């Protein structure tokens, strides 16, 4: 049987559009002889629809969209779509996260998700009741073990947050299955491709059953989906794989056991593609902006952001702007002009000195006799933010912010200043990875598309004379190591010191700075999430809180409490 | 037996401080002869600790804090605290949301929550495994039915999001219970006091058992807790009630059946107290700011915000600032000065004209030949935001934003302009309730503390000549009606039109505007939540999305789909 893997790119909430494009893909698949077409999890609404699911009218429209597809299907083709469906049980959450098998003239058959991720960026138990069980679906003589995303992840070595007490895949296999079919909406992160392969190979070998996974592709606000849809044979060998980071229709003949070449996935190259896709999708799917505007400082973050934007949208939809002040180095303008030249983008220059001076003047009566400090530095950063927003508002552009994850962690950024914008491109990319991206971008083009001087100069905010990041922050290789252990691996001072050998007071100071700056991140624009733990909806920290590690440590020492080992 | 209801105000994350203050309250209760002291849900960490719970080290410190309390208890006094405890089962979430009964020299006894709210502002299944059952706790001859917050809420007429398949209170009662004991962290909203009374009276009468509820008090970021701890007799009569909106230790003698006077709760008076508490707690608990700064426009929103701030912090910790521009009415300064006079606060005047002109000048080369519009209006609003932040940064103040819920819904606010600040005081208060608050504030003082002219003038953003809110928005009584039905009751166009008789195109336009402005609210400061559905963590909407009600309606009509009735 020919089975089509519809690696679909839905727009969240666009039920009529998603229904129409679902039908288009079904017709294309049918034309290629497919008997079954499999779509990703929640394909009809896009992942995640969030609280749209709380609106009963929206679910009415979902039902209409499913009927719309159902009534228009070609004869002889089965289609499995992902959709929220109403829970038939009046007890429990109102919805199920379902796979719906549609065939022309037949009643829809529903399988619902049993394991509902409710951690990190996932809120599924907010909306869905876990299905009490799943039944094998027989389709044209093939016994399909249809299940949804997390249902396949209950494997000890891949469990991060917790283990579940049910194992849907094993339960399906017990019923007798010819092919395991997983509908996913599993976002990209650095290591996800390898983890998916590891899990699927484990399951294939454990059960001696082939496995087909169809994942969403595209990006919705912070989440980027790489697709990575594939088929593995009963022995785990990969038989087919869709191209990553793009919509695709992959036809697989279930009689074939020919291995496919393994997809080449490289960490920095993937990161580049993920960010490019994230920018393009935000602009195209909102449809609210023609182009993007980026404040160019001459530094590496804004240069990399601009290059990514050009790769996403083309040079004609990207504009740069340099906004020198009294403290800007000569390089800040010349490096930016060089960058704009390399990228082929328009670059404006708007010196902010007159505005900064005007604020100085009108604030003189109030500020007289005070010492220059953060307030004055922020006036510069915010004057730049204001100019960016004014230009963007005037010409219908969206501002991309350029701050990286290391800075966002430490609060080394000005709220309403350089944090102004609609999308934060690098806010989930540590500074050392920004360097790696710059080298990758230059290697791809074979030239110094990112000017060498922007890569080599010591990072600086240029808000006071001779300011350097390293006056306020530790060297980035050290900083990034500590931040990664705290944020992504969720370790605290003692564990980080054991791993790194760094001094406890030093590490504690960094962790305290991360905690203290939660209020800034609360107001940050959405950031493209490319790690296993980004700032944003995946990391929900209290703002009004008191985390005093010194008194905590003291209490622990007095009681001689030993740390728990998970 | 004398039982103390410890209506406790924890600081989120402050384990050593919360432990110390827990012990202080226990000693006070013991001095008054209490044998049992009951604290609220998660009292040791504060509600909600959010992702602090994902950090294993933090849970180690929780365990130390519990031991710290346990070892220092006076002999003969039992204490029930709320705490996250590690799930002894290796399967499932790593924590339980527990009530821990501590007595000197005895093993701690643990009861864990069965019903975990995971909707609106609640994320409990993110961290906690539901307890499979609860056992009655025998304490000094009394059989206590200890359960936690949501465990008592599974009653058909009060269920908003879903029903649960378990009923912890009924299950406890089946074991034989002398007293039901509920530990809550149940935030304030307009109607919560009455709902709590209704549920408890229903349970008392159904089971003929007295009921004791201890609720958290205070505020943590967006959530405000009114306390409202109480004891009801087996027939539902209220026997004791703690003062609302303040920390309190209420001692109740279980041999007494004397009814207490019913607490007077009035909607607008409660709203006033909730907002005042929310402001005070944000400032005091973060400890990062000495005082607050408020931009005064002469309008009602900023006037009410300033009055609330003075009621929260005293006039010496509140500063006003007027920032007239070319389009400001003469009233904008004089009404603000009158207000500052009434409130006894310092008020600065910083005319922004020179800064706005400087931006005009530096942007002339770029903007030449374009028409004045939103970009120029936003330059004014953002110049004000910049001045506010500069003054606040200079003098260690926090800016309070003044926008109301009606404006925030419609996006009638400028990002990085009037939306700049650390806490949004009125962003969950519809405009008509801002008027009600103004009248309440004046009635309390017996004078026009909020100047009559600020109440009576037509609302205006004053960003262009003769601008009025009603040029862009419908009259507020109409707007608020529609917004309340959409946001709080989660109805869509058809249902809203049936309820109100308003025109479908008109309502659709308003709903579309709410959806379209999600990106602004994403970057808004945290708002004090005082309704059943505020913007913020309780309402999670996609930003990159396409909700096209016209095409949706068309699809529905073609298929003649009937709406579902929940």
> What is the share, in percent, of chain A residues with pLDDT greater than 90?
90
DSSP A128: B
State the pLDDT at residue A330.
Answer: 76
Residues of B in contact with A60 (CB under 8 A): 556, 561, 563-564
Give residue limits of the domains in chain B.
Answer: 2-256, 272-465+523-532
State the pLDDT at residue B546.
Answer: 95
Given A103, A113, A241, A497, which residue is catalytic?
Answer: A113
Catalytic center residues of B: 41, 113, 149
Q: How far is CA A36 from CA A106, A183, A214, in A?
A: 15, 14, 13
Determine whether the interchain pair B16/A68 forms a contact, defined as Cβ–Cβ distance below 8 Å. Answer: no
pLDDT at residue A565 tops 70:
no
pLDDT in tens, A104-134: 999 999 999 999 999 999 999 999 999 999 9
CA neighbor of A230 nearest in space, from A207, A255, A259, A273: A259
CB B180 within 8 A of CB B136: no
What backbone phi and psi angles, to 5 degrees, belong to B347? -135, 120
Determine whether the interchain pair B161/A390 forms a contact, defined as Cβ–Cβ distance below 8 Å. Answer: no
Mean local confidence (pLDDT), A49-72: 96
- Any B CB within 8 A of A126 CB: yes
Mean local confidence (pLDDT), B312-325: 96
Instruction: Please say whether the structural domain B2-256 has been given the CATH code 3.40.50.10490.
Output: no
**Which residues are B180's β-sheet partners?**
B145, B211
Compute the Cα dihedral for B75, B76, B77, B80 and give only its sign.
positive
Determine whether the interchain pair A359/B46 forms a contact, defined as Cβ–Cβ distance below 8 Å. Answer: no
Instruction: Please say whether the structural domain A272-552 has been given the CATH code 3.40.50.300.
Output: no
pLDDT at residue B331 tops 80:
no
| Smallest CA–CA distance from B379 into chain A, residue | A390
Residues A251, B69: Cα–Cα separation, whole Å: 64
Compute the Cα dihedral for B286, B288, B290, B294 and give only its sign.
negative
Tell me if residue A464 falls in helix, strand or coil. Answer: coil
Report the DSSP pairing between strands A2-7 and A36-38: parallel
CA neighbor of A435 nearest in space, from A338, A343, A303: A303
Determine whether the interchain pair A219/B544 forms a contact, defined as Cβ–Cβ distance below 8 Å. Answer: yes
pLDDT in tens, A151-160: 999 998 888 8
Determine whether the interchain pair B386/A389 forms a contact, defined as Cβ–Cβ distance below 8 Å. Answer: no
pLDDT in tens, B349-385: 999 999 999 999 999 999 999 999 999 999 999 999 9
Residues B244, B274: Cα–Cα separation, whole Å: 10
Q: How far is CA B470 from CA A263, A456, B458, B474, B520, in A?
A: 58, 55, 8, 6, 21
- pLDDT-derived band at A566 (thresholds 50, 70, 90) equals low
Which residue of B64, B162, B285 is in closest CB contact with A561?
Answer: B64
pLDDT at residue B476 tops 90:
yes
- pLDDT-derived band at B347 (thresholds 50, 70, 90) equals very high
Mean local confidence (pLDDT), A82-88: 98
Question: In the CATH scheme, what is the code of domain B272-465+523-532?
Answer: 3.40.50.620
pLDDT in tens, B276-306: 999 999 999 998 898 999 999 999 999 999 9
CB A55 within 8 A of CB B492: yes
- Any B CB within 8 A of A9 CB: no
pLDDT in tens, A358-392: 999 999 999 999 999 999 999 999 999 999 999 99
Residues B120, A126: Cα–Cα separation, whole Å: 8
pLDDT at residue A564 tops 80:
no
**Which residues are A253's β-sheet partners?**
A2
Please enumerate in sequence order all residues whose Cβ is within 8 A of that of B386, keeping only pairs 6 or more positions apart, or say none.
A359, A379, A382, A383, A386, A416, B355, B420
Read off the pTM.
0.96
Please enumerate in sequence order all residues whose Cβ is within 8 A of that of B557, keeping only pairs 6 or more positions apart, or say none.
none
Residues of B in contact with A282 (CB under 8 A): 544
State the pLDDT at residue A30.
Answer: 98
- Any A CB within 8 A of B162 CB: yes
Residues of A in contact with B48 (CB under 8 A): 542
State the pLDDT at residue B565.
Answer: 66
| Smallest CA–CA distance from B526 into chain A, residue | A522
Residues of A in contact with B497 (CB under 8 A): none
Q: How far is CA A466 from CA A290, A395, A461, in A?
A: 38, 34, 10
Residues 100-119 of A with CB under 8 A from B: 118-119
What backbone phi and psi angles, to 5 degrees, belong to B79? -130, 130
Determine whether the interchain pair A370/B59 forms a contact, defined as Cβ–Cβ distance below 8 Å. Answer: no
| Smallest CA–CA distance from A538 into chain B, residue | B51
Q: What is the average pLDDT value for chain A, to the nearest integer?
A: 95
CB B223 within 8 A of CB B42: no
pLDDT at residue A191 tops 90:
no
pLDDT at residue A85 tops 70:
yes
Determine whether the interchain pair B366/A350 forms a contact, defined as Cβ–Cβ distance below 8 Å. Answer: yes
pLDDT in tens, A508-541: 999 999 999 999 999 999 999 999 999 999 999 9
Q: How many CB atoms lie within 10 A of CB A172?
A: 27
Tell me if residue B94 falls in helix, strand or coil. Answer: coil
- Residue from B546, B558, B564 whose CB has the most chain A CBs within 10 Å, to mutate: B546
Measured torsion, CA atoms of residues A504, A505, A509, A512, in degrees rounded to the nearest 10:
70
- pLDDT-derived band at A94 (thresholds 50, 70, 90) equals very high
Angle, to 10 degrees, between the axis of helix B476-483 and the axis of helix B504-516? 70
CA neighbor of A412 nearest in space, from A455, A362, A461: A461
Secondary structure (DSSP) of A353-418: HHHHHHHHHHHHHHHTTPPPSHHHHHHHHHHHHHHHHHHHHHHTEEEEE---HHHHHHT-S-TTTT
Determine whether the interchain pair A393/B378 forms a contact, defined as Cβ–Cβ distance below 8 Å. Answer: yes
Given A124, A129, A149, A377, which residue is catalytic?
Answer: A149
State the pLDDT at residue B464.
Answer: 81
Instruction: Please say whether the structural domain A2-265 has been given the CATH code 3.60.110.10.
Output: yes
Q: How many CB atoms lie within 10 A of CB B162?
A: 18
Residues B220, B42: Cα–Cα separation, whole Å: 13
């Amino acid at each position: 049987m020919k089975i089509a893997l519809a690696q679909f790119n839905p727009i969240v909430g666009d039920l009529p559009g998603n229904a129409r494009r679902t039908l288009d893909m079904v017709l294309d698949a049918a034309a290629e002889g497919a008997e079954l077409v499999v779509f990703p999890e929640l394909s009809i609404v896009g992942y995640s629809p969030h609280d749209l699911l709380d609106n009963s009218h929206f679910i009415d429209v979902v039902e209409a969209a499913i009927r719309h597809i159902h009534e228009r299907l070609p004869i002889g083709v089965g289609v499995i779509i992902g959709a929220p469906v109403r829970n038939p049980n009046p007890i429990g959450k109102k919805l199920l996260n379902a796979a719906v098998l549609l065939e022309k003239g037949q009643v829809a058959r529903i399988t619902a998700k049993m394991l509902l991720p409710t951690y990190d960026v996932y809120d599924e138990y907010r909306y869905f009741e876990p299905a009490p069980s799943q039944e094998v679906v027989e389709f044209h003589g093939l016994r399909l073990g249809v299940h949804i995303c997390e249902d396949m992840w209950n494997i000890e070595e891949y469990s991060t947050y917790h283990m579940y007490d049910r194992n849907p895949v094993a339960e399906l296999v017990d019923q007798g299955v010819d092919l395991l079919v997983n509908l996913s909406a599993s976002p990209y992160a650095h290591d996800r491709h390898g983890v998916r392969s590891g899990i699927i190979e484990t399951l294939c070998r454990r059960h001696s059953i082939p496995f087909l996974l169809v994942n969403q592709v595209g990006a919705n606000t912070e989440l980027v989906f790489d697709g990575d849809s594939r088929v593995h044979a009963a022995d785990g060998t990969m038989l087919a794989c869709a191209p990553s980071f793009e919509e695709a229709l992959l036809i697989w003949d279930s009689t074939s056991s020919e291995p496919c070449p393994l997809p080449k996935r490289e960490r920095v190259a993937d990161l580049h593609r993920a960010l490019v896709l994230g920018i393009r999708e935000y602009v195209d799917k909102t449809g609210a902006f023609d182009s993007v505007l980026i404040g160019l400082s001459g530094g590496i973050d804004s240069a990399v952001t601009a290059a990514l934007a050009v790769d996403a949208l083309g040079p004609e939809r990207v504009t740069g702007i340099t906004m020198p002040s009294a403290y800007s180095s000569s390089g800040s303008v010349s490096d930016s002009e060089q960058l704009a030249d390399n990228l082929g983008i328009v670059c404006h220059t708007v010196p902010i000195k007159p505005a900064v001076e005007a604020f100085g003047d009108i604030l003189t009566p109030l500020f007289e006799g005070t010492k220059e400090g953060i307030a004055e530095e922020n006036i510069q950063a915010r004057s730049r933010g204001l100019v960016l927003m004014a230009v963007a508002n005037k010409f219908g552009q969206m501002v991309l912010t350029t701050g990286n994850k290391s800075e966002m962690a430490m609060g080394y950024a000005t709220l309403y200043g350089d944090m102004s914008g609609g999308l934060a491109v690098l806010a989930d990319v540590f500074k050392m990875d920004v360097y790696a991206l710059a080298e990758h971008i230059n290697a791809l083009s074979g030239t110094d598309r990112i000017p060498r001087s922007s890569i080599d100069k010591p990072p600086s905010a240029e808000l006071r004379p001779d300011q350097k990041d390293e006056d306020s922050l530790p060297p980035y290789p050290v900083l990034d190591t500590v931040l990664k252990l705290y944020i992504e691996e969720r370790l605290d001072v003692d564990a980080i010191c054991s791993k790194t050998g760094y001094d406890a007071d030093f590490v504690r100071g960094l962790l305290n700075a991360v905690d203290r700056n939660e209020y800034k991140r609360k107001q940050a624009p959405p950031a493209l999430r490319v790690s296993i733990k980004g700032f944003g909806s995946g990391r929900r920290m209290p703002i009004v809180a008191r985390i005093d590690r010194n008194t905590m440590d003291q209490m622990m020492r007095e009681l001689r409490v030993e740390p728990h080992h998970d």
